[in-house]
Amino acid sequence: MVSTFHGLELGKRGLSVGQASLSTTGQNIANVNTKGYSRQQVNSSASPSLDVWTNQGANTGQLGTGVNIDSITRVRDRFLDQQVRDHSETLGQWQAKQTTLDRLETIVNEPSTSGLNSAMDALKNAWQDLANEPDSLAAQAIVKERAQGFVDVAQSMNKSMENLKGELTLQTQETVAEANGYLKQIAELNKSIVRDGNQSNDLKDKRDALVEDLSKLMSIKVDEKPSGSYSISLSSNKQALVTGEEVSKIDVDSVNANPKRYGGKLAGLSESMESAIYYQDKLISVVKNFAQANTMSKTGSTDQALFIGDADNFNISELKVNYAASPLKQPAATGKPSEDAQSYFRELVSELGAESQSAINSVANHEATLQATENRRQSVTGVSLDEEMANLIKYQHSYNAAARLVSMTDQMLDTIINRMAN
């Protein structure tokens, strides 16, 4: 038999759902500009019906009892989340590489009037002037001065490249530490989410924000368990990084041993190091060949060579100008070896420029792809004020109607209890 107060209970449930819906809408509006926030929604369903007698024989009727709140969940799309993580990983890799190539272009500083090519031209012209006046002490001094200019530029470039390699090593160490920090925080949030229940929406948002930051550093695969915890592994070889509350930290040695396995910024930094070493080796080759073409000896004490340097174990930082040489020893094959060295340097500049431009284009393309994917995801998970305002009006009317039902039931009970007795 249906309770006399059935209408009050039914109205109360309607009020409860309306209030939860209004509060959730308010939460969405309040966090419209919060980074990483996911739109939330109230999931409700009709509460179990009551059997009531009807005129349909043995078949009883079903009387509704209102509504129940099943859950308040985030609106997410796992497919788009993984796409965003994949694009972030690729973008992080290219950004690291593009930054290093940009630094290398700044170090090479070509074309310019103060670069290595200009220094080589200046020395070549000084040799020609000396050839016209072989006995001129002034012409010999100018040759040595131009040679010193060449050495200064070459040593400055070489030192900058050494500094760049040191910075890349430091960046790799910091990035590994940053990744381990993210892994630890994700594991701690896993523990909190499992403890607080699978509907810890705000904690899940914080965890997803950390996962996305981690995806910029390395390529990861995320698997959500029924308990709500995340298991995170490397995409390349499924190496476990986070399993529930357990963390498997990464270290610099394993990253340096196989950087491509990690992807993301870590792989980009490794490729950057390879580029820095590659172009520094080319610079050393250019400087060595040019110095040899303009006469170089190990001691410079007997052969009057312009440069002092060890051709068998060449080191740019140890290259010196032989100021004691007088008269200077003329290059054996005037022009050709120097031009070959200059030509090799121009090839270095062209190759670096092409590679840098390619990296710039790749970064731009992946940024556009990531932004497009992010826009698609925001259309699902983001807060639309227009939609929330429409929901606000809808839930307000729903709440008012439920309140009206309670008021009307109260009047009916008043009639039955107080007035029918008189």
In a domain, 318, yes or no: yes
The total number of structural domains that make up the chain: 2
Residues 411 and 335 in one domain: no
CB 203 within 8 A of CB 73: no
In a domain, 196, yes or no: no
What string of pLDDT tens digits covers the 422 residues of the chain?
Answer: 678 888 899 999 999 999 999 999 999 999 999 989 999 999 999 999 888 877 766 667 888 899 999 999 999 999 999 999 999 999 999 999 999 999 999 999 998 999 999 999 999 999 989 988 888 889 999 999 999 999 999 999 999 999 999 999 999 999 999 999 999 999 999 999 999 887 799 999 999 999 999 999 999 999 999 999 999 999 999 999 999 999 999 999 999 999 889 999 999 999 999 999 999 999 999 999 999 999 999 886 767 899 999 999 999 999 999 998 888 877 765 557 788 999 999 999 999 999 999 999 999 999 999 999 999 999 999 999 999 999 999 999 999 999 999 999 999 988 888 877 55
Cα maximum dimension of the chain: 139
In a domain, 9, yes or no: yes
Residues 50 and 90 in one domain: no
Residues 13 and 153 in one domain: no
pLDDT of residue 336: 75
Residue given tokens 């929604």 in the structure block: 41
In a domain, 46, yes or no: yes
Residues 62 and 85 in one domain: no
Residues 6+ apart with CB under 8 A from 130: 136, 139, 140, 142, 143, 328, 330
In a domain, 194, yes or no: no
Residue type, 43: N
Residues 396 and 340 in one domain: no
Residues 107 and 123 in one domain: yes
Alpha-carbon dihedral sign for residues 29, 33, 35, 36: positive
Residues 295 and 402 in one domain: no
In a domain, 185, yes or no: no
Question: Rounded to whole angstroms, how far apart are CA atoms 310 and 307?
Answer: 10
Q: Which domain holds residue 24?
A: 4-75+382-420
Question: Rounded to whole angstroms, how far apart are CA atoms 127 and 168?
Answer: 40
Residues 404 and 357 in one domain: no
Residues 324 and 355 in one domain: yes
Residues 57 and 122 in one domain: no
pLDDT of residue 422: 58
What is the radius of gyration, based on Cα positions, of the chain? 37
Question: Rounded to whole angstroms, how far apart are CA atoms 214 and 209?
Answer: 9
Q: What is the pTM of this model?
A: 0.86
In a domain, 247, yes or no: no
Residues 6+ apart with CB under 8 A from 63: 2, 6, 49, 50, 51, 52
pLDDT of residue 281: 97
Residues 29 and 113 in one domain: no
In a domain, 316, yes or no: yes
Residues 134 and 31 in one domain: no
| Tally of CB atoms within 10 A around 1 | 8
CB 214 within 8 A of CB 220: yes
